[in-house]
Structure formats: structure tokens, C-alpha cells
Amino acid sequence: MTEGPFLWYLNRATGLTLLVLLSVSTVLGVLAMGGRPGQGVPRFVTQHVHRNLALLSVVALIVHVVSAVLDTFVDIRWWQALLPFGASYEPLWLGLGALSLDLIGVVVVTSLVRSRLTHRRWRAVHVFSWVAWVAAVVHTIGIGTDIQQRALWAVLPTVACVLAVVAALGLRLGRLRSERDLVGSPS
């Protein structure tokens, strides 16, 4: 394999970049699915950017996983990156990363065959992207040496990602409550 720190730095950089991309994609996905026409950015714009960021996230995910497996600094086998159990290095944190990878893979596959699924079935599977995002955040916090060492360049974007997704979730839940109140209120 490769000697030297290049793969280690690539893995760290793609990991943090991936978390930001997944978070922004999640926020845009929430913004694209709700709201009233004519407010803010048109839905098709947020959906288009959401899909493109999700695709870019998949590319970053592939580079992140490949760099982790090829790097000789830590012994991570290819199957340990795919299966959420059985890793010898940091099994819980690596397992959460593998779980996130697997769930993202399921979401990607079902999105590629979306035209063959009912909207309800596609959405039911797409909800797993939330679980994948949570697993990715916990993986980042648990295995990320820069976060454990409290490096601001790693901690601040991670906190910002969590706050942005929590805010988007709060916005979506508020919209659902408003929609439910509108439907249930007598005219």
C-alpha cells in the first residue's frame, strides 16, 4: 500500500467533508419536501441541489471508505467497512460507520429505481437516510481523532451540522403540526 500520511489525511478530510455534505443534503431534503408554493426558493431548485449534493456525498463516501481500507496506519479490512460488526479496530465506531454506509447504499439504490416504487414505499426507505446521518455523526464523534482532541476545525463544523439538521427537523415538525392544525380546524 502507500507509506506516509497521505491516505490518513485524505480519510480525515473526506470524513469531515462527507459529514457536511450529508448534513446539507439532509437539510435541503427537508426543505424540498414541505412548505407552500411561492415561498422562498422553489421546491424544484432545492430538490435538484439536494440530489446533486447527495450524489457528491456518495462520491466522498467512496473515497472515505477506500482511503480507510488502503491506509496502513490502522488495519481496516474491506469487509469491516461494509459489515457493521466484527471489526478489530474501534468496533462500535467503525460499525456505526459501516451501518451508515449500508443505509446510504439502500437509499441510493431505491432512489435509482424510484420510478418502479410507489411514493409511499420510496419514502419509507428514504427515512433511513436520517438513521444513516445519525450513525455517521456518532461515528464521526467516536472515531474522529481530531474531534476527540477538540480541534476547532473539526468540532465547529460537526456542531454546525448537528444544529442545522436539528433546526431543519424542528422546522419540518412545526410544518407538520401547522398542516395538521389547518386540516383539523373548522372553517
Confidence of residue 39 (pLDDT cuts 50, 70, 90): low
Residue range 156-166: mean pLDDT, rounded: 97
In a domain, 93, yes or no: yes
**Residue that wins the pLDDT comparison between 72 and 15:** 15
Cα–Cα distances (Å) from 180 to 18, 19, 156, 172, 186, in that order, read 35, 32, 36, 12, 12
In a domain, 104, yes or no: yes
Cα angle at 171 between 169 and 176, to 5 degrees? 95
| Amino acid identity for residue 140 in this structure | T
The Cα 187–Cα 180 span in angstroms is 14
Could you give the 3-state DSSP secondary structure of residue 174? helix
Q: Is the pLDDT of residue 34 over 70?
A: no
Q: What is the CA radius of gyration of the chain?
A: 18
- pLDDT per residue as tens digits for the range 80-112: 999 999 888 999 999 999 999 999 999 999 999
The Cα 99–Cα 23 span in angstroms is 17
Q: Is the pLDDT of residue 163 over 60?
A: yes
The Cα 135–Cα 26 span in angstroms is 14
The Cα 49–Cα 100 span in angstroms is 22
Q: What is the pTM of this model?
A: 0.87
Q: Is the pLDDT of residue 140 over 50?
A: yes
In a domain, 79, yes or no: yes
Look up residue 120 and give its three cell numbers.
409511499
Could you give the 3-state DSSP secondary structure of residue 102? helix
Q: Is the pLDDT of residue 47 over 50?
A: yes
Q: What is the domain extent for residue 119?
A: 6-184
pLDDT of 74 reads 85
In a domain, 1, yes or no: no
In a domain, 125, yes or no: yes
Q: Report the number of distinct structural domains present in the chain.
A: 1
